[in-house]
Amino acid sequence: MKDAEPVVFVVDDEPCVRLALQRLLKSAGHGVETFGSAAELLACGAAERPGCLLLDLQMPGVNGLELQQALRAEGASLPVVFLSGKADVSTAAQAMKAGALDFLTKPVNDRELLAAVGLACELSVKAQRERTELQELRQRLAQLTCRELEVFSLVATGLRNKQIAGALGTVEKTVKVHRAHVMEKMQAGSLADLVRFADRLSLSAVTERGHDPDRAGSPSWHDGQA
Amino acid sequence: MESLLILALALELRRRRKQSAREIQQLRQEMAHISRVTTLSGLAGSLSHDLKQPLTAICSNVQAARRFLAAEPPFLGEVCEILASIEQDGERAGEMIERVRGLLKKGEWKPELLSFNDIVQDVVHLLRGHVVARGASLRIEAAPDLPRVSGDRAQLLQVLLNLALNAVEAMAGNPAGARHLVLATRRAGPGCAEAIVRDSGRGIAPAEIERIFEPFYTTKREGLGIGLSITRSIVKAHGGAVWAENHPEGGAAFHVVLPVLGDGHPGGT
């Protein structure tokens, strides 16, 4: 699956600054979109796309910090880099505590800016990739039957087929069949993959019968491929 | 003989009175200048923030141009656009500095033909950053075809700047989003031009509405309380009047009325 190209969303109320930053970012190969106010950014649905935010602090109406808070409230996870003409310590601390990736001052050093933006975009692409993966996994999980789901969660805790059979009140042969189906539907190449998927999906390991598999002997991790 | 002595004495007294009058005038101008400098130093933070904008643009433009030139082949079209922007931004920065310099100048009364609308524009340029930093909004209601007045530009700018700064401060206690500053101009009857500075603060206690113009009267914790008294003396020296009233919709409004050119006798005493 091809990652969508990350975009730098620049928000600054000063047109000459917006234009200059856009040119600088473009000259370094970044995709850029500019906005003159927080309202404009929020209206365009940037929250859904990979990339990062380059925010001015001091703007009329909703300022940079308030915009950052509004985006977090919306659940947007774009990394934020602040760029401000005002550099007092308390504002910078506030911004960093609220989760900003970096806080730069104007006039800005191009190397610092491009490094911060580069890192931010990398993080965003990685996070987007993980989100997409998780969505994929959830879709695959939805293909499992109830029984297969049970087997999946027990396999992921490291139980041997025999133990799983005991826990579910069935025979080993049946468990093996279910297990094979699970591997196929989840597109897992190994036990290690299955375990990783289970972890990503936060599967709980309590079975239908309320039998806690943690008590069914010591889980042997080292069976199957490591 | 006696009459000669009396004449000499009378001439001497007149000479001294004229000298005192000149000295008083000079002192007034010094005070006005000091007040301007104090006001500007209070604005130093927001003015330097404002100046950083075109400078930031210039720096980032230059850095972009370098990269465009280093590309294979170089993006010459972009570089040309960048150069045009840099020139523009540089001019803007120069204008900002000129504005501040104009306010800082110390000097003789220099009367010229002015419109309140131009002065309001100067106030907006100087205060924009400060207003944003204080979370307030600024609106202009300028009357078209406002008749001109004769006056010293720096001093009239000082008057409106002072009133506007006071207005912003008066709203500091308001919740964010409820701080509205309005600068309005209009004709005020025949032969007068008026500027009004209105805020959405708490207003002025009726008992104080005249007292606030007294020298050294202040309700602020910091500040000498000379701003409004200097404002009034400048306006009076221009042949005009300044007063305050509470706006029916809340907040205070300060009115400055000056005679239009040809009426009244603006000038130093």
Task: Look at B78 and A20 and tell me if their CB atoms are within 8 Å.
Answer: no
pLDDT band at A16 (very low <50, low <70, confident <90, very high): very high
- pLDDT of A218 higher than 70: no
Task: Look at A86 and B64 and tell me if their CB atoms are within 8 Å.
Answer: no
pLDDT in tens, A157-200: 888 888 889 888 889 999 999 999 999 999 999 989 999 999 88
Q: Considering only CB atoms, which chain A residues are within 8 Å of B129?
A: 58
CA distance A22 to A41: 15
pLDDT in tens, B101-147: 888 887 777 889 999 999 999 999 999 989 988 889 999 999 998 99
Predicted pLDDT of residue B22: 87
Mean of pLDDT values over B34-52? 86
B35 three-state secondary structure: helix
Q: Considering only CB atoms, which chain A residues are within 8 Å of B89?
A: 16, 20
Pick the residue of B46, B53, B95 with the most A CBs within 10 A to test the interface with A by mutation: B53
CA distance A17 to B57: 5
- pLDDT of A208 higher than 90: no
List the one residue out of A2, A56, A5, A3 whose CA is nearest residue A26: A5
Asked if residue A79 lies in contact with residue A120, where contact means CB atoms within 8 angstroms, the answer is: yes
Look up the ipTM and state it.
0.76
CA angle A124, A125, A126 (to 5 degrees): 90
Nearest residue in A to B179, CA atom? A61
Model pTM score? 0.77
Smallest Cβ–Cβ distance between B53 and the set A24, A26, A85 belongs to: A85
CA distance A12 to A100: 16
Q: Which residue has the higher pLDDT, A56 or A211?
A: A56
Min distance A88 CA to chain B CA atoms (Å)? 11
CA distance B68 to B91: 24
CA distance A117 to B194: 51
Q: How many Cβ atoms are within 10 Å of A139's Cβ, its own excluded?
A: 9
Query: Per-residue DSSP letters for A119-184?
Result: HHHHHHHHHHHHHHHHHHHHHHHHTS-HHHHHHHHHHHTT--HHHHHHHHTS-HHHHHHHHHHHHH
Q: Considering only CB atoms, which chain B residues are within 8 Å of A113?
A: 60
Min distance A57 CA to chain B CA atoms (Å)? 10
- pLDDT of B168 higher than 60: yes
CA distance B174 to B254: 19
Task: Look at B54 and A110 and tell me if their CB atoms are within 8 Å.
Answer: no
A33 three-state secondary structure: strand
- pLDDT of A60 higher than 70: yes
Give yes or no for A87 touching B (CB within 8 A). Answer: no
Predicted pLDDT of residue A119: 96
- End-to-end alpha-carbon separation of chain B, Å? 35
Predicted pLDDT of residue A50: 86
pLDDT in tens, A122-140: 999 998 888 889 999 999 9
- pLDDT of B267 higher than 60: no
Asked if residue A32 lies in contact with residue A25, where contact means CB atoms within 8 angstroms, the answer is: yes
Segment (H or E) for A103: strand A102-105
Q: Which of A83-87, A136-140, B35-39 has the highest mean pLDDT?
A: A136-140
CA distance B126 to B100: 8
List the one residue out of B160, B171, B220, B235 whose CA is nearest residue B200: B171
Q: Considering only CB atoms, which chain A residues are within 8 Å of B54?
A: 16
Report phi then psi at B160, rounded to 5. -70, -35
Smallest Cβ–Cβ distance between B59 and the set A26, A85, A107 belongs to: A107
- pLDDT of A36 higher than 90: yes
- pLDDT of A25 higher than 90: yes
Mean of pLDDT values over A72-78? 82
List the one residue out of B162, B167, B100 whose CA is nearest residue B137: B167
Specify the residue for token string 């929250």: A47
Segment (H or E) for A52: strand A51-56
CA distance A147 to A149: 5
The DSSP secondary-structure symbol of B265 reads -
Q: Considering only CB atoms, which chain A residues are within 8 Å of B92?
A: 16
CA distance B177 to B136: 7
Q: Tokens representing A167?
A: 């826990």
Smallest Cβ–Cβ distance between A20 and the set B67, B85, B92 belongs to: B85
Predicted pLDDT of residue B39: 83
Min distance B174 CA to chain A CA atoms (Å)? 15
- pLDDT of B261 higher than 80: no
Give yes or no for A66 touching B (CB within 8 A). Answer: no
Task: Look at B85 and A19 and tell me if their CB atoms are within 8 Å.
Answer: yes
